[in-house]
A and B are shown apart, each in its own frame.
Chain A
């Protein structure tokens, strides 16, 4: 039953969608029914696919770069008191800035191509990854650090062999958030200015009243986002198999 549940939920949603179409009598250019969207998906696959590849590239590069930058920043903050004193307030204040508002600027500076979208995704991912990992690095159970000190470990060894692995579960939850929001960054970047990508295709289809194509693109985008989240989740479960809390809080 639990294996069938997602399928049943999907079927239920489709049925509800179809029911709304019938009940409202909305014309297809306002609300296409599921079958029409499926036909658009199948019939225009050759159009959708290249755009999907563009968006996937943007998301994956954004995720990779944002995660790397976030992890490096968290390590720097954890290792150096001076970095904490100078950089942390800037980082917190920078979050008051709505990142989406930067999208037009990014397009202006980096052009219509891939870099502006990747930058957008990086900006969105960077903060959750940094804070989650840094938080984890700060909360190493004191007992582990004391044990390491009695074992005559240097601070660098304590950081790499105890604090970093201890922070991996927290880092993993940051990475899960990042995987969930990365597609948003890429698509917002595409909406502001682009010549390819699913966001671009959706705007294009919208302007031409090809609402079925818009829905089909949206479906592909959702599918990609779900696949990405599950891939990241599975990978993290394999890499971080231990319980996130110590068995006896020290």
Chain B
């Protein structure tokens, strides 16, 4: 599904970010190539989610810029590990949350509703548009969250471990669906699964060390979503070794 406007590349610089006296990041530069999916791996507690929040503008402390020179406001969509569906809104109204929050009405809202219905059909939830979130299974809720992220139709999409709470089969299906629907958008996907990163990423980056540093981009062959063939699985094993073998953060940092 093509974005309404061409996705720009995104450049982010963190001069120094400290939390409770501990330096989390220093002199960190992250480049997200335009219209490509970048997957971010790293041990837990290293600051992957923090980095994603910096890109989203939810945390201060980073300088962000887009390659087209336009401001980033209104061009980012965000999907978290939990579905964040509002329990009092139907699935369809949850999809329209962004439009409602921005006070959309009339034709704009009608167009968004059309789009929401189309996306619900794509994620297989057309029948459940009127259901409340607690009436859905975990996999269905995460599909609804994916659809909500896409209804926003924003060129940059940030995803924070969006599939980690799901069972293996649901996760696999949703990864394929996400890869298909996120084509041509600039995506940053934070994950703790090397296989997920290798299947979905045009580029895979590893965040590691204290203060955290980004490793050089790894570019698996082929286009996502890749099939988990022996070559990919071998790469997964290498990545796992690298992640486990590198400086394991002290326990208090892992919290």
Contact = CB atoms under 8 A, between A and B. Distances in A.
A242 B82 CA distance: 17
A203 interface: no
A165 B78 contact: no
Contacts of A151: 97-98, 101-102, 152
Given A158-B101, A242-B134, A247-B133, A152 B74 contact: yes
17 contacts: A141-B84, A147-B78, A149-B58, A151-B101, A152-B102, A153-B102, A157-B103, A161-B100, A165-B86, A240-B88, A241-B132, A242-B134, A243-B87, A247-B82, A247-B85, A249-B82, A250-B84
A230 to B, nearest CB: 23
Interface of B: 53, 56-58, 73-74, 76-78, 80-88, 97-98, 100-103, 132-134, 141, 152, 158, 165
A206 to B, nearest CB: 49
A143 B82 CA distance: 8
Interface string A147-173: 111111100011001100110100000
In the A-B complex, list the 6 residue pairs whose CB atoms are closest, starting with the nearest: A248-B82, A153-B101, A242-B87, A151-B98, A150-B78, A157-B101
A29 interface: no
Nearest to B165: A248
Contacts of B165: 248
Interface residues of A, number: 27
Contacts of A250: 80, 82, 84
A147 B84 contact: yes
Contacts of B102: 151-153, 157
A242 B87 CA distance: 6
A240 B134 CA distance: 13
Contact of A162 (B53, B57, B86, B133): B86
Given A151-B97, A161-B100, A143 B84 contact: yes
A5 to B, nearest CB: 29
Given A150-B58, A151-B152, A246 B87 contact: yes
Contact of A168 (B82, B84, B88, B103): B88
Nearest to B80: A143
